[in-house]
Chain A
Amino acid sequence: MSALAVSPSKRLLTKGNEAICLGAVAAGCRHYFGYPITPQNDIPEHMAAHLPALGGTFLQAESEVATINMMLGTSASGKRVMTSSSGPGISLMQEGLSYMAGSELPAVVVNISRSGPGLGGIAPSQGDYFQAVKGGGHGGYRLIVLAPHSVQEMYALTMLAFDLADKYRTPVLILGDAIVGQMKEPFVASPYDPASTVEKPWALTGCAGRERRNVKSLYLKDNAIEVHNWKLHEKYERIRENEVRAESYMLDGATIAIVAFGTAARVSKTAIQWARKEGIAAGMLRPITLFPFPKREVFELARTVDFLLVIEMNTGQMVEDVRQCTPLHDRIAFLGKPCAMPTPEEILERIRLLAGKKG
């Protein structure tokens, strides 16, 4: 979507982190729990300033462990709820996330990721990919994982995250990083479509005059936990079938296709524009959902290009998922940089190298 298509006065120069808040509030989220950590502090700051006036709750918890359990309780009562943190805090939330996945409770968790492992640093990083898409907590579950690459998407994907969370009764993770969180660019606050909200016949709202409801992740009777696992599996299969989202960027006639998400994809767009000017047919497949991963799209793309160039701000995580999509492993190249952005110049250099190999 071209931002120029609308009148300039409707565009707002907004920080990515703030756009997440605006999207959450537009989607009806009135409950936020969190604990401060760089580089996402704009989110609790914004929510603290605005939620009370909307009749909502902002609460700075004593820790991220408390945060995620406050989320669990709020979600069980049927309310839309969000938290945000960065790597170390998200790690502390993993137990609660597992409980919420097991209890089939919707919630939106934002990870504006920083460098790790451990306390790491505050530099932008995509080192939390594995944690985001492979479960993170125990017991074998999936989160729907959305990867915005612009301020506009920070807004739109936050609204989508609430809808998907409710639709599938599962926590949704938004995986951003310091760049897309801290940068400002114009965005349009498109209205939220309330038609996408669903009833919550499972919510614990007080059982006077109706059957009792039960929200739990503990199943001790006979083979109840096995049945529950198959039920969750079937849900994740439905998500895989229906919710894959990816952007095709300049892929027409492409011989070199970058596969990148978030900020790495954003930077790659500049390199692709430069490569095209040099006559190199470069393009990109940008996964917007990291789970479900665009497997079919990668499989088809690998058959038509000379090279898939996977670019990540880590030493190689998503590239493992790309390898699982295609048997054509000799066509997969990787450019990674932990805790920093690969520059457009570095990406262009690699594109040229690959073009030379074939040409």
Chain B
Amino acid sequence: MTGDIIMAGFGGQGILMIGNLLALTAMEEGKHVTYFPAYGVEMRGGTANCTVVVSDEEIGSPVVGRPKGLLIMNGPSMEKFLPMLASGGDLIINSSLVEERQVTRDDVRLLPVPADDIARNKIGSRQMASMVALGAYVARSGIVKLSTVFDCLPKVISKKYEKFIPLNVTALKEGAALAGFHA
């Protein structure tokens, strides 16, 4: 399985966290992978984005001009990145914060995920929104196995917060279910 994705949202939403988790998962599955985060002027409340490339072969460019996947967690990111998405690509939007009418293209595979609403109302923690979105993307794209993502959670969540791992698993499953995948 080969694929690439740009993830974008507000700083503090967990964009770099889920990008790193996806990259780690791909590595654990024995794949080639690169993860490139935006760096420098990003901070909480500002914008944050990262690019993950997964491949069975040696990866050339870690940055992509026409990604096959796009995960958008807020409105400003939509304006910036939607034009780049490859035709026929997967577009996951956080429909709690991004209105569907902002999707001005009809040549992409849209999956609206009310990530913030699910996180707050069904899981009880708004911080889980990005995990819900990641679950939806993984299930929709098949880029890695959802079960490997579960396995990798302890590697990105520090000991101090390990009690939240089951919550993260629930969030990933909720997102995956929206893509028609039931773990």
Which residues in A have some Cβ–Cβ distance to B below 8 Å? 2-4, 8, 11, 13, 38-39, 122, 178-179, 182-186, 266-273, 341, 343-345
Contact = CB atoms under 8 A, between A and B. Distances in A.
Contacts of A122: 39-41
A8 B28 contact: yes
Contact of B65 (A4, A183, A268, A343): A343
A270 B60 contact: yes
A266 B32 CA distance: 14
A240 B164 CA distance: 57
Decide if the interface of chain A is mainly helix, strand, loop or mixed.
Answer: helix
A271 B27 contact: no
Contacts of B57: 273
B61 A183 contact: no
B62 A344 contact: no
Interface in B27-46: 27-30, 32-37, 39-41
B20 interface: yes
B58 interface: yes
B63 A13 contact: no
A267 B60 contact: yes
Nearest to B56: A4
A106 to B, nearest CB: 31
A266 B20 contact: no
A210 B41 CA distance: 55
B20 A184 contact: yes
Contacts of B28: 8
Contacts of A11: 27
B35 A8 contact: no
A39 B40 CA distance: 7
B60 A184 contact: no
A182 B60 CA distance: 16
28 contacts: A4-B32, A13-B27, A13-B33, A122-B39, A122-B40, A178-B39, A182-B37, A182-B39, A184-B20, A184-B23, A184-B37, A185-B23, A185-B32, A185-B33, A185-B34, A185-B35, A185-B59, A186-B32, A266-B60, A269-B58, A270-B59, A271-B60, A272-B60, A343-B61, A344-B61, A344-B64, A344-B65, A345-B65
Contact of B58 (A2, A178, A271, A344): A2
Decide if the interface of chain B is mainly helix, strand, loop or mixed.
Answer: loop
Nearest to A38: B40
A286 B64 CA distance: 21
Contacts of B59: 185, 270
A345 B58 contact: no
A11 B27 CA distance: 8
B66 interface: yes
In the A-B complex, the 9 residue pairs with the closest CB atoms? A270-B60, A269-B60, A343-B65, A267-B61, A184-B35, A270-B61, A122-B40, A183-B36, A186-B27
Contacts of A270: 59-61
Contact of B66 (A3, A184, A185, A345): A345
B24 interface: yes
A273 B61 CA distance: 11
A3 B59 CA distance: 11
Contact of A267 (B20, B41, B63, B66): B63
Contact of A179 (B27, B32, B62): B62
Contacts of B39: 38-39, 122, 178, 182
Nearest to A17: B39
Interface string B14-29: 0000001001100111
A344 B36 contact: no
Task: Output the residue of B33, B36, B59, B63 with the most chain A CB within 10 A.
Answer: B63
Given A183-B36, A185-B35, A345-B66, 15 more contacts: A4-B30, A11-B27, A13-B35, A122-B40, A183-B62, A184-B36, A186-B33, A266-B60, A266-B62, A267-B60, A269-B60, A269-B61, A271-B60, A341-B63, A343-B61
B53 to A, nearest CB: 9
A183 B34 contact: yes
B9 to A, nearest CB: 19
Task: Output the residue of A8, A183, A272 with the most chain B CB within 10 A.
Answer: A183
Contact of A268 (B20, B60, B62): B60
A179 B32 CA distance: 17
A13 B23 contact: yes
A268 B59 CA distance: 11
Contacts of A343: 61, 63, 65
Contacts of A186: 27, 32-33
Given A178-B39, A273-B60, A13 B24 contact: yes
A185 B65 contact: no
Interface string B60-94: 11111110000000000000000000000000000
A154 to B, nearest CB: 13
